[in-house]
Amino acid sequence: MMRDDVTVNAADIARLADVGRAAVSNWRKRFDDFPRPVGGTATSPAFSLADVEEWLRRHDRYVEVAPLERVWQALRAITDDLRLGDAVGYAGALLGYLRRDPDGWRRLAGLGDAALVRELPVAPPPGLDVTAALIRSIAEVGLAEGPVAAFDGICDRYVDVHSRRLLATPREVAETMARVGGTAGRVVLDPACGLGTLLLASGGATTLGQDVNGSSARLAEVRLGLHGYDADIVTGDSLRADAFPGVQADVVICNPPFNERGWGYEELTSDPRWEYGLPPRGESELAWAQHCLAHVKPGGLVVIMMPGVAAARRPGRRVRGNLLRAGALRAIITLSAGAAPASSGAPDLWVLRRPEPGGRPPSEVLMVNAGDDLALAESAWQAFTDERELPAGSRAVRIIDLLDEEVDLTTGHRVQVQDQPDGAGYAALREKTAGLAAGLAGQPPGLAATGGGRRELPMTNLGELARAGVVTILQGPIKLAADGDLPVLTAKDLLVGREPTGRTADAPGLVAIEPGDVVAPLITGSGSIPRVMTEPGAVLGAQLLLIRTDPDRLDPHFLAGCLRAAVGSSVRLGSSMRLDPRRAQLPRLPVEEQRRYGAAFHRLLTFEDASRALRQAADDLVAAGIDGLFDGTLQPE
């Protein structure tokens, strides 16, 4: 059994009870019997998990705590946040042992507690109070969910706690960087690897990484090992103490720290890596870009995340100009704000190619305004390298046109997001907008006030329904094959309510979509909403969950509406969190009543889609009209 002295803070309680933090604060003020703090500080008190669970049950607010969540809270209880990475690393090492030698674990599990701790070949770091109960709990979760999935879940929670310090690359961005770089099956280096997110996405045959934070480097090594990678991860400052001198990888991918003043300007002034010019003191990102180029083979690619301002800051214009003249800078792809947690603005991906001796420098560089459309980043780069017609939102710009006094590489100055419509195009947009507006009339359902305030309905959650066989919860593979003819429903498809646009090859582990399935975003706050599928034939894409119901016991539209309420709360709060489907709550209602509510939910969600389409059409109409009046292609009637 797990120790009963595990503590939680207000944020943990909110996650356990599936409410906002404000609700926990209100409970503390309104209820005299709310548990008293047992530790922590005045601003961040800690509560006994056992006491909190008892209180939640007493007040009919309890949501079953998943075993993985209990393990996570127990890991937090054995150390402070400064050494939490060591505790997480130990859990990963134990799960790695479980994966390598399940028979050995079964033998050890039958021993007494003292003998288990003594004979286990995975020793805890000094100073961590690791008990036999914690060891058994970690192993139980690993056996139930699989060692890899269990450790990925623990790492996700670790990143949530230290999100401002770790600044992990979003998974979908990491996958895009890997595909643009063509990393699969190759030797891949990340000199600022953090927890190994980019290397995990790479599919590399050999992965090399370095990070200045020792705890992050150890976690990256454990994660990559659990996922079956041949990895060599080293702790150290890549710019000051390069762990791979002379090594040239096939591809380098990197999301370096931004705006570092103390990157080593003084001691590295004459470093041979600065082939394209000494990076200015305030331009650490240009130092990282040249470090990456020094570590890739001639003809090899570098895909590096850069802050948007690095494309235009005046001190860096000499280095940018030299990169262009040598043909080393091949593309600048602007993403949306939030794609790089270290940047408040919209970051860029710089794609660089190490020039081959005697090769002829190219005459053009690709510029892409991708925003949220990561698929555009990939398709534009592929079209550019294949010398095919480029998609809208991208443009090949002559290098000579960029080599002025400023060497401003901001994509917004060179690429329009959409083509300028002519007079006929404006008329078509006007007609489309009017049609969408007319179609909205009468769509929202009539809803009557119940009277007497809010109803307190008995609740259940998907975990209970799954155990009862009412629902089946599925998640697709983290990575899908890039080639193939099988349609894939992507997160973007779910967001805009369109037909599946992804493609993959048939492989084990794919989740086939059937009519009546409810598909929801794995990360709430992304803008995507749960939808009831109507057509078969596609498979589930990354970052999506599929919930299949027994329609005689649970109406899928009712379920989609309840999930939309959970997703909508995070959107309104401006937050983003990973959805734990088993904790998602919904009222206990007879199936006939569910269908009544489900029909209303369905009409509301249909209205939401129509409203979104109208807003987009209206924005396009206004932009086209203003631009057309300004440049003379349109005139008042």
Is the per-residue pLDDT at 621 higher than 60?
Answer: yes
Residue 343 is predicted with a pLDDT of: 63
For the cut 70, the answer to whether the pLDDT of residue 423 exceeds it is no
pLDDT on residue 569: 43
Terminal-to-terminal C-alpha distance of the chain:
79
What pLDDT, on a 0 to 100 scale, did the predictor assign at position 236? 95
Looking at residue 164, its pLDDT comes to 63
- Report yes or no: 589 and 458 within 8 Å, Cβ to Cβ: no
Contact 547, 516 (CB under 8 A): no
The share of the chain scoring above pLDDT 70, in percent, equals 90
The pLDDT assigned to 244 comes to 96
Q: Please, which residues have CB within 8 angstroms of residue 552's CB and are 6 or more apart in sequence?
A: 591
Place of tokens 């507690």: 113
Q: Copy the structure tokens of residue 271.
A: 């470093």
Query: Averaged over 154-161, what is the pLDDT?
Result: 83
Partner residues linked to 187 by β-bridges: 206
* pLDDT average, residue stretch 569-581: 44
Nearest to 319 by CA among 355, 288, 349: 288
pTM for the predicted model, two decimal places? 0.65
The yes-or-no verdict on residue 398 having pLDDT over 90 is yes
- Enumerate the CATH 3.40.50.150 domain ranges in the chain, comma separated: 170-181+240-413
Confidence of residue 580 (pLDDT cuts 50, 70, 90): low
Least confident of 36-40, 193-197, 285-289, 407-411: 36-40
Dist. CA 294–CA 315, nearest whole Å: 22
**Residue 443 near residue 607, CB atoms below 8 Å:** yes
**pLDDT the model gives residue 420:** 47
**Spatial distance between the Cα atoms of 581 and 110, rounded to a whole number of angstroms:** 33
Of 536, 535, 530, nearest in space to 518 by CA: 530
pLDDT(574) > 50? no
pLDDT of residue 16: 73
Q: What is the spatial distance between Cα 255 and Cα 235, in angstroms, rounded to a whole number?
A: 16
- Gyration radius of the chain's alpha carbons: 27
pLDDT at 419: 44
Across the beta sheet with 531-532, the strand order is 471-475, 544-549, 518-521, 531-532
CB of 173 within 8 A of CB of 99?
no
User: Class of the 170-181+240-413 domain?
Assistant: alpha beta
Per-residue pLDDT reduced to its tens digit, 330-355? 999 999 877 777 666 789 999 999 99
Whether the pLDDT of residue 384 is over 70: the answer is: yes
CATH 3.90.220.20 boundaries in the chain: 459-588
CA atoms within 13 A on the CB side of 87: 25
Write the single-letter amino acid at 318.
Answer: R
**pLDDT-derived band at 460, boundaries 50, 70, 90:** confident
Q: Look over the chain and give the mean of its residue pLDDT values, rounded to a whole number.
A: 85
pLDDT for 163 = 61
Q: Does position 59 have pLDDT exceeding 90, yes or no? A: no
**pLDDT score of 442:** 62
pLDDT tier, 3 (very low <50, low <70, confident <90, very high otherwise): very low
Cα–Cα dist 29/296, whole Å: 59
> Nearest 10 degrees: CA dihedral of 6, 10, 12, 17?
110
- Count Cα atoms within 13 angstroms, Cβ side, for 586: 28
pLDDT at residue 528, as a whole number: 60
Residue with the larger pLDDT of the pair 439 and 249: 249
What integer is the mean pLDDT of 34-60?
85
* Concatenated DSSP letters of 359-378: PPPPSEEEEEEEET-HHHHH
Between 91 and 509, name the one with better pLDDT. 91
Give residue-wise pLDDT tens across range 603-620: 888 888 888 778 877 887
CATH classification of 459-588, choosing from 3.40.228.10, 3.90.220.20, 3.30.2000.20, 3.30.70.250?
3.90.220.20
461-503 pLDDT tens trace? 888 888 888 999 888 777 777 667 788 998 878 877 788 888 8
- What is the reported pLDDT for 380? 94
